[in-house]
Structure 1
Amino acid sequence: MNITRENIDELNAVVKVEIKKDDYQPKVEKILKDYRKSANIPGFRKGHVPMGLVKKQYGKAVLVDEVNKLLQESLNNYLNEEKLEVLGNPLPKAQDNFDWDKEDYAFEFELGLAPKFDVNLNTKNKVTHYKIVANEEMIDNQVKTIQKQYGKLVSKNEVEEGDLVAGTFKSEDGEIENTTTLPVEKIKGKRNTAKFIGAKVGDQLSLKSKNLFENTEDLTEFLAVDAETAEDLDVELSFEITEVNKQEPAELDQELFDKLFGKDQVKSVTELKEKIKEDAENQFEQQSDQQLLNDVTEKLIEETKFELPGEFLQKWIMTSGEKELSAEEAKEEYDKSEKGIRFQLIEAKIINDNDLKVELEEIKDLTKDRIKMQMAQFGQMNPSDKDLEDITARVLANQDEVKKLSEQVLNKKLLDTYKEKANLEEKELSYEDFVKEVYN
């Protein structure tokens, strides 16, 4: 067997694989002998079929199969031994006059080679690294939300602002009848709100569906009608009040703090606010980090220049999917994926240049951290080492989970590398301002 390579240019090459009869014949003969032992052909006893008949019936198929196996194996070995970084897969060149009746064969493959380039993390233009802070307004709102969530309902007779009102909506034609509970603040307009404020249990209010709520979703929920009906609904309604409740906020006391964070973890309103701020900013950091990954990625793609074997990749795309594409479809698909191909190459270069590796212990540590967080949500604050090890082992038995966790560990290492080496400019702002700046 002989393998040679002709470099067309820096990004394209052709590999020629020459296979001689001596390379495949011993394997073919062995397989045919095995076939002869088990062949079941009418007129011959099992194991006594003439070899000539076995070769005639199975010889060509076995030959083609073995040559193709040998071809694939030798090509893969060659690419590995030569340390060739290829894009896509080798593409066989068409041979119009190929003849399987010959004893020696030659095959040619087109290769798309990965470009050589350098990545400079210290980009010319700075990348914004957002530091999102929880301001006083956000913290105070979160405290109110907690008080509301853990508060209690107190029954009363007369409706005031902020109350929850239970009752039954009915239309004059009888097509609507729904018992529901709604917050007074859901009612739209001063005229409609005035009908509720001061009303008592047992009162029956006369209303119109049009402009009763801010949106059709509320109409759908509180009148139990479908979205299409709610869109243009304009009917007379009655609402009989059956219950009025005021939601009293929970006291900011030790009982509430223990319920939220565990016994004696938080002991004052000041500590509560500090905890809320810490938790919120930890969550914000995840969003900030993801944005940093996105922004550094965009900047590196923009500033790292190199050519791709575009013509080869389009030919490869034509035949690599479940359905063969036309040249026009393949070009369209290539145009869509070119940016992703570029960053895959850039990322691989960064990983190699910075010797970023994922160790099994790092995957296990990440898994344990995730398990602890999940268990804490159900009140299990201190799981035993044995429980953690057992659950971790079950998680890591799933190869898909291992792959996801490995990618997460690697992304964290990339992020740390960017924070250390990229040309960053820190910007501190509130979450609301972050959303406005990044997503609007």
Structure 2
Amino acid sequence: MNITRENIDELNAVLKVAIAKDDYSEKVQKVLKDYRKSANIPGFRKGHVPMGLVQKQYGKAVKVDEVNKLLQDNLQKYLTEEKLDVLGNPLPKGQEDLNWDEDNYTFEFELGLSPKFEVDLQPKEAITSYKIVVDDKMLDNQIKTIQKQYGKITSKQEVEAGDEVSGSFVNEEAELNKKTTFEVSKLKGKANTSAFLGAKVGDTITVTTKGLFAEAGDYRAHLGLTEDEAKEQNLEVSFTIAEVNHRVPADLDQELFDKLYGEGVVTSVTELREKIKEEGEAQFKQQSDQQLLNDVTEKLIENTNFDLPAEFLKKWIQQSGEKELTFEEAAEEYERSEKGLRYQLIEGKIIADNNLQITFEEIKEYAKEMIKAQMAQYGQMNPSDEELEGIAARILSNQDEVRRLSEQLMNKKLLDFFKEHVKLKEKEVTFDEFVKEVYN
């Protein structure tokens, strides 16, 4: 067998594979001999069918099968030995004139070659790395929420300031029927507030959705609409009061501190605020880290220029799925996936150039750390290594779990790498400021 490569350009090549009779004949004869031993042909005893008859009946099919096996095995071996970095898989060129009655064959395959490029981790403008802080306003709100959550509830018949009401916002024409509970203080404007104050259990109140709540998030929580949708639709909704409750906030005393964090862990309001701030900022760090990863990804795609073998990839997409696509459908799919492919190549180069590959041992240790963290949430603070090993082994026996953990660990490695090597500028923001900057 002889394989030669002709480079069309830097991104495209053609492989020519020449297969001679000597390359496959021995394997074909072996298969046919095995067929002869088991062939069940009328008029002949099993194992005594003439070889010529076996050859006539099965010879061509066996030859086609063995030649195709040779092709697949040796193509992959060639790509590995030549260290060719290809995109997709080799695509066979059409050979309508192929005659399987001949002894020698030549096959051609199109290759899409991975582009050569460098990754610049120092963009002209530094990428913003957000540090989300818990401000006093958020702390005050969180403490009020805790006090209400652990406070006493008194059932009432009439709504007064500071009460919360339960019921459903309804507009049958718009198919809106949202069961909810909210504090009257969350309503916006005197007219809306006055409509509820003094109302009794069983009363039905009619309001409009535009400008109903003071906070944007309350529209989604209590109406099932965004603030913009509530404003644009300006629906007239009815609300029948099913329940009125008044919450007496819990005192900020040692009894509450112990309920929240365990006996003696927090002993003052100052320590409580510090603890809530610490926990909140730890949670926000996950969001800011994910945003940093997203922003670095976008900047790398934007700043790393290289060409792709687009026509080859469109043909490969057309032929590689379960259902063959038209070329137009494949071209559309290529346009949708091109950005992701570019980042895969950039990420792969960063990983290879900086030895960021993941070992199975690292995945196992990462799994054990996650298990420990989950067990700690349920009060199991010191699990034995034997126990962790057993749970990790069960998790890692599932290939989907291994894949998921590998992706998480790789994202962590890349994030740590970017924090050290990419040009960043830290910006301290509150959560509201972060949402406004990133999502608006």
* TM-score relative to the length of structure 1: 0.85
- 1:158 deviation in Å? 5.4
Residues 163 and 246 in structure 1, CA contact (< 8 A), matched pair in contact too: yes
Distance (Å, rounded) in 2 between the aligned partners of 1:129 and 1:419: 9
Q: Distance in 2 between matches of 1:325 and 1:157?
A: 65
Letter in 1 for 2:313: L
SS of the aligned residue for 1:112 comes to strand
State the alpha-carbon separation in 1 of the partners of residues 220 and 314 from structure 2. 48
- Structure 1 match to 2:385: 385
- The residue that corresponds to 2:370 in the other structure is 370
| Aligned partners of 1:133 and 1:430 also within 8 Å | yes
Query: Could you tell me how far apart the structure 1 residues matched to 2:269 and 2:138 are?
Result: 15
**1:9 alignment partner, SS class:** coil
1:309–1:367 distance in 2 versus 1, CA, 3 Å: same
Question: How many residues are matched?
Answer: 419
**SS, match of residue 331 in structure 2:** helix
Which runs of structure 2 are paired with 1:292-371 in the superposition (5 Å)? Answer: 292-371=292-371
How far apart, in 2, do the equivalents of 1:232 and 1:196 lie? 18
Match in the other structure for 1:274: 274
Please give the alpha-carbon distance, in whole angstroms, between the structure 1 residues aligned to 2:321 and 2:420.
40
Whole-Å Cα distance in 1 between the matches of residues 335 and 98 of structure 2?
A: 35
* Aligned residue in 2 for 1:12: 12
**8 Å contact 1:192–1:212 — kept in the other structure?**
no
Equivalent-residue separation in structure 1 for 2:180 and 2:138 (angstroms): 31
Deviation at 1:264, TM superposition (A): 2.8
Q: Which secondary structure state, in structure 2, belongs to the residue aligned with residue 3 of structure 1?
A: strand
Separation in structure 2 between the aligned mates of residue 32 and residue 167 of structure 1, nearest angstrom: 80
Task: Please give the secondary structure, in 1, of the residue aligned with 2:26.
Answer: helix
In the other structure, the counterpart of 1:245 is 245
The aligned amino acid for 1:351 is: I
Q: Secondary structure in 2 aligned to 1:357?
A: coil
Which residue does 2:176 correspond to in 1?
none
Task: Give the Cα–Cα distance (whole angstroms) in 2 for the partners of residues 212 and 133 of structure 1.
Answer: 33
2:109 aligned counterpart, secondary structure = strand
In structure 1, what is the Cα distance between the partners aligned to 2:337 and 2:181? 51
Amino acid at match of 1:65: D
Secondary structure of 1:363's aligned partner: helix
Paired residue secondary structure (2:325): coil
AA of the residue aligned to 1:61? A
- Post-superposition shift, 1:99? 0.6
Could you tell me the percent identity over the aligned residues?
65
User: 2:118 maps to what in 1?
Assistant: 118
Residue 219 of structure 1, CA deviation: 9.3
Distance 1:293 1:218, change over 3 A: closer
Residue of structure 2 in register with 1:172 after alignment: none
Q: Offset at 1:89?
A: 0.8
Counterpart residue number, 2:435: 435
- CA distance 1:382–1:153, change in 2 (3 Å): farther
**Alignment map for 1:130-279 (pairs within 5 Å):** 130-155=130-155, 159-164=159-164, 183-185=183-185, 190=190, 194=194, 197=197, 205=203, 207-209=204-206, 211=208, 214=212, 244-279=244-279
Query: What are the superposed Cα offsets for residues 133-167 of structure 1, whole Å, 9 maximum, x if unpaired?
Result: 11111111111111112222134565422224579
Distance in 1, Cα, partners of 2:352 & 2:72:
28
Contact map agreement 2:192 2:207 (CA 8 A) in 1:
no
Q: Which amino acid aligns with 1:23?
A: D
SS of the aligned residue for 1:329 comes to helix
Instruction: For 2:102 and 2:180, locate their aligned partners in 1 and report how far apart those are by CA, in whole Å.
Output: 84
Once the two structures are overlaid, the 10-residue window that deviates more, 108-117 or 306-315, is 306-315
The one-letter amino acid paired with 1:360 is: F
Work out whether 1:67 is the aligned partner of 2:59.
no
Q: Which runs of 5+ in 2 are unaligned?
A: 170-178, 214-218, 225-233
1:421-432 alignment, distance < 5 Å = 421-432=421-432
Show CA shifts across 1:398-423 (max 9, x none): 11111111111111111111111111
